[in-house]
């Protein structure tokens, strides 16, 4: 699995290196013009006032870049950029703080295009303002293999894109997470007597689709509860979705709903042309400091297209030559395909100089901070470096078989609490199951309005938003290590957010307790069966199911180390031993031998995970009493095992030993790749039931006796 992935990433990287020149000659000129006007680097640089005609020209430039790119690629979504271009102009030219030549400038405002299908909007803005990853040839390569301008914004492809968006609703939740990270870092590090070193806004554009998705309501309810005043969401209220006009399915009063969620709401009635209205709305948003703001911006999708505006036709298909010509005429755009007038570049490339000035200002601010607060600055630098503290893993305890039997959720609680002091970036919580998931860090209070420096997050019963918010927290790139928790079954509610972690290289830690029928009486709606298989099948997701204390420590070690791969840790409700030879080191290999009968090669291999590893171990003892030679293999993480060398894997599962039994209180699906066509799986391929856990194991036949029977049947 990893090999193919690495090849792909390598190929993307190669694609990156292959493009040259990064800046087109025209762009180069534009930049030099702006440079000539440069103010002293440390002063604040405001965008110069320009004529309304030139503003409109800038706005139309955004529109036509999108139109032309979608036409050229013969696929894409021109309607959103055409309607949102005025927002783009105001945000990028007048409002946002960012540095095109240094997309990673720490104190930048974050922007999220939640309506990710309108990616050409973001690429247009990035091109016009001079981001190096989006020169004109990348605009012309929109949606092509190896380009830096894929169909939806991907943070791992294009520098300057904060988060991967596309699945509707994820982006606004990521934006909430980015705002959480800002509020947290600001509360932890800013000091009243020096200028704040963490101080930026998070902007998000979302559309009707994002608004309809339940995930956005979850996250926005939390944002209102938390009072995230520096979150400003612009709602592209164009009343068109793929099925047509929203009046066929979406007639609620969105503004009133957001007020009910605790947001400040402003309405810009004509988002197509009312630039002053947008300016004013954003100013009002900034003035309200204790609530997030929703700016409802009523627009026409495909504004400017005489025959397709305000219709579904312009949403997700190229305008085509004829309608493009009509739109050029209608908007008075006398420029060729992909042509950007010099004066438009002159305006937008002012961002480069403003960005440099902002960076310089921040450098001065941090220098003053460092002088007065050297210890705090060192902490800030260490945290935001993204590097883990030296020797952090020494805090992880180890266990012996003689230690008290505990549930792995209890071991998880231990790990979180030994890690919390040594990993200052650890932040997280549960979707209203903290007493069951055991995920509170005892050294911290709750992150709440007015106490943003705390590290325990209370997500409420909002699993999907929880995952997406954690992605935002992580991708703020402050060195924060977010974890989140619920019952393992409820990964079903948050699966797309987890997939987005895996895709967007967001190393969130998913702490998932109550991992099998072992939870007992709550019954089949609460008992995972297919979930281990479903995550083992997901690319770039580390699915861990530790057995006992040492493997839980090992799982956390892996999870913390993997900052670009999410880890899901499945943990038991019920007790189990820490078996002999289970180890942190073995866990890191994904699969490893914990027992071999002395005196020759094994005849049969028993393998298991989590709470069932002890059954395999017990079965081995019984089989040995009958003179069999048995190997027991623990398989806490299939993905890590697959990444081991062929030699190692052959040493663990020698090809010539075909008598193999696996045990896991879960579906057999997937185990064939370790047990082969002749092996046997002791598990459960149906839904569970409501009864005490020990009864369920007995009734479903997940017992030592069944393992022994299966093994003997093969010998």
Site for a copy of itself in 306-325 (CB under 8 A): 312
Per-residue contact flags (x/-) with a copy of itself for residues 102 to 121, judged by CB under 8 A: --------------xx----
The only residue of 18, 20, 36, 248 in contact with a copy of itself, by rule CB under 8 A: 248
The only residue of 256, 289, 442, 564 in contact with a copy of itself, by rule CB under 8 A: 256
Min separation Cβ 58 and a copy of itself, Å: 28
Q: Which is nearer to a copy of itself, 253 or 390 (CB)?
A: 253
264-268 and 110-113 beta bridge pairing: unpaired
Six-digit token string for 616: 């395999």
Min separation Cβ 145 and a copy of itself, Å: 4
Binding of residue 209 to a copy of itself (CB under 8 A): yes
Q: Which stretch binds a copy of itself (CB under 8 A): 43-51, 431-439, 578-586, 595-603?
A: 431-439
Scan for tokens 């705002």, then name that residue: 179
Q: Which is nearer to a copy of itself, 86 or 602 (CB)?
A: 602
Binding of residue 186 to a copy of itself (CB under 8 A): no
State how far the Cα of 706 lies from the Cα of 360, in Å rounded to an integer.
69
Task: Output the CA torsion sign for 612, 618, 623, 624.
Answer: positive
Q: Which stretch binds a copy of itself (CB under 8 A): 149-157, 286-294, 343-351, 472-480?
A: 149-157
Q: Which stretch binds a copy of itself (CB under 8 A): 56-64, 68-76, 189-197, 578-586?
A: 68-76
**Are the C-beta atoms of residues 666 and 657 closer than 8 Å to each other?**
no
Binding of residue 279 to a copy of itself (CB under 8 A): no
Catalytic residue check, 252 = no
Cβ neighbour number for residue 654 with a 10 Å cutoff? 13
Task: Output the CA torsion sign for 301, 85, 172, 220.
Answer: negative
Comparing CA positions, the residue from 174, 178, 172, 290 lying closest to residue 234 is 172
Per-residue contact flags (x/-) with a copy of itself for residues 641 to 680, judged by CB under 8 A: --------------x-----------xxxx-xx--xx---
**Are the C-beta atoms of residues 695 and 705 closer than 8 Å to each other?**
no
**Are the C-beta atoms of residues 488 and 513 closer than 8 Å to each other?**
yes
Query: Total residues at the site for a copy of itself (CB under 8 A)?
Result: 122
Six-digit token string for 632: 């027991």
Site for a copy of itself in 189-208 (CB under 8 A): 208
**Are the C-beta atoms of residues 112 and 172 closer than 8 Å to each other?**
yes
Q: Which is nearer to a copy of itself, 169 or 566 (CB)?
A: 169
The only residue of 436, 444, 561, 562 in contact with a copy of itself, by rule CB under 8 A: 436
Binding of residue 430 to a copy of itself (CB under 8 A): yes
Is 35 annotated in some ligand binding site? no
Q: Which stretch binds a copy of itself (CB under 8 A): 139-147, 192-200, 277-285, 560-568?
A: 139-147
The only residue of 241, 413, 578, 704 in contact with a copy of itself, by rule CB under 8 A: 241
Binding of residue 147 to a copy of itself (CB under 8 A): yes
DSSP single-letter state for residue 108: P
Catalytic residue among 132, 359, 361, 463: 463
Binding of residue 251 to a copy of itself (CB under 8 A): yes
DSSP per position, 345-371: HHHHTHHHHHHHHHHHHHHHHHHHHHH
Whether cis (ω within 30° of 0) applies to the bond prior to 21 is yes
Give residues with Cβ within 8 angstroms of 53, minimum separation 6.
none
By CB atoms closer than 10 A (0-12, 13-18, 19+), residue 239 is middle
Six-digit token string for 513: 């307790």
Per-residue contact flags (x/-) with a copy of itself for residues 523 to 562, judged by CB under 8 A: xxxx--xx--xx-xxxxx----------------------
DSSP per position, 35-65: HHTPPPTTS--PPPP--HHHHHHHHHHHHHH
Known binding-site residue numbers for substrate: 77, 315, 409, 436, 514, 522, 526, 573
Active site residues: 463
């Amino acid at each position: 699995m990893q090999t193919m992935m690495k090849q792909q990433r390598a190929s993307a990287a190669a694609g990156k290196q292959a493009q040259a020149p990064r800046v087109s000659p025209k762009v180069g000129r534009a930049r030099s013009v702006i440079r000539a006007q440069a103010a002293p680097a440390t002063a604040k640089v405001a965008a110069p006032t320009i004529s309304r005609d030139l503003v409109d020209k800038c706005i139309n430039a955004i529109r036509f870049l999108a139109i032309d790119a979608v036409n050229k690629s013969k696929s894409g979504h021109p309607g959103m950029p055409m309607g949102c271009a005025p927002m783009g102009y105001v945000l990028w030219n007048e409002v946002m703080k960012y540095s095109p030549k240094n997309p990673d400038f720490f104190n930048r405002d974050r922007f999220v295009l939640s309506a990710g299908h309108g990616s050409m909007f973001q690429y247009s803005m990035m091109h016009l303002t001079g981001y190096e990853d989006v020169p004109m040839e990348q605009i012309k390569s929109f949606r092509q293999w190896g380009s830096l301008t894929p169909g939806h914004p991907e943070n791992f492809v294009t520098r300057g894109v904060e988060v991967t968006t596309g699945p509707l609703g994820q982006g606004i939740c990521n934006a909430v997470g980015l705002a959480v990270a800002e509020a947290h870092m600001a509360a932890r590090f800013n000091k009243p007597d020096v200028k704040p070193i963490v101080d930026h806004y998070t902007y998000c554009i979302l559309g009707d689709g994002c608004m309809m998705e339940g995930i956005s309501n979850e996250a926005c309810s939390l944002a209102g509860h938390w009072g995230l005043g520096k979150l400003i969401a612009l709602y592209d209220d164009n009343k068109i979705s793929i099925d047509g006009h929203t009046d066929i399915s979406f007639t609620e009063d969105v503004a009133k709903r957001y007020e009910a969620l605790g947001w400040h709401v402003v309405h810009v009635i004509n988002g197509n042309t009312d630039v002053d209205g947008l300016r004013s709305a954003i100013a009002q948003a900034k003035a309200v400091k204790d609530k997030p703001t929703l700016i409802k911006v009523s627009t026409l999708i495909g504004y400017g297209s005489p025959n397709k505006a305000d219709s579904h036709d312009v949403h997700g298909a190229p305008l085509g030559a004829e309608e493009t010509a009509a739109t050029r005429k209608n908007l008075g755009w006398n420029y060729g395909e992909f042509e950007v007038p010099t004066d438009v570049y002159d305006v937008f490339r002012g961002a480069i100089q403003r960005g440099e000035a902002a960076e310089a200002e921040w450098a001065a601010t941090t220098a003053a901070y460092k002088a007065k607060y050297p210890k705090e600055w060192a902490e800030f630098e260490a945290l935001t470096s993204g590097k883990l503290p030296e020797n952090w893993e020494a805090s992880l305890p180890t266990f012996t078989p003689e230690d008290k039997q505990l549930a792995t959720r209890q071991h998880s609680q231990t790990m979180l609490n030994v890690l919390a002091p040594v990993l200052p970036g650890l932040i997280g919580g549960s979707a209203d199951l903290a007493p069951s998931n055991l995920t509170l860090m005892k050294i911290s209070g709750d992150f709440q309005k007015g106490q943003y420096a705390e590290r325990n997050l209370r997500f409420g019963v909002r699993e999907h938003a929880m995952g997406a918010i954690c992605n935002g927290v992580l991708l703020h790139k402050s060195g924060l290590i977010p974890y989140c928790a619920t019952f393992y079954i409820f990964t079903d509610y948050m699966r797309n957010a987890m997939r987005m972690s895996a895709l967007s290289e967001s190393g969130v830690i998913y702490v998932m307790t109550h991992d099998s029928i072992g939870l007992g009486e709550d019954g089949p709606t609460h008992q995972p069966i297919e979930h281990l298989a479903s995550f083992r099948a997901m690319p770039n997701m580390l699915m861990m199911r530790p057995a006992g204390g040492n493997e839980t420590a090992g799982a956390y070690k892996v999870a913390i180390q993997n900052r670009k791969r999410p880890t899901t840790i499945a943990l038991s409700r019920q007790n189990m031993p820490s078996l002999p030879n289970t180890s942190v080191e073995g866990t890191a290999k994904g699969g490893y031998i914990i027992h071999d009968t002395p005196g020759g090669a094994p005849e049969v291999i028993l393998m298991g995970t989590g709470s069932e590893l002890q059954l395999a171990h017990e079965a081995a003892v019984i089989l040995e009493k009958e003179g069999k030679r048995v190997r027991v293999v623990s398989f806490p993480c299939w993905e890590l095992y697959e990444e081991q060398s062929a030699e190692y894997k052959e040493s663990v599962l020698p090809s010539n030993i075909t008598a193999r039994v696996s045990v896991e209180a879960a579906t057999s699906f997937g185990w064939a790749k370790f047990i082969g066509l002749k092996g046997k799986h002791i598990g459960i391929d149906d839904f569970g039931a409501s009864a005490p856990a020990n009864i369920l194991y007995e009734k479903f036949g997940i017992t030592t006796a069944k393992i022994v029977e299966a093994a003997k049947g093969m010998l």
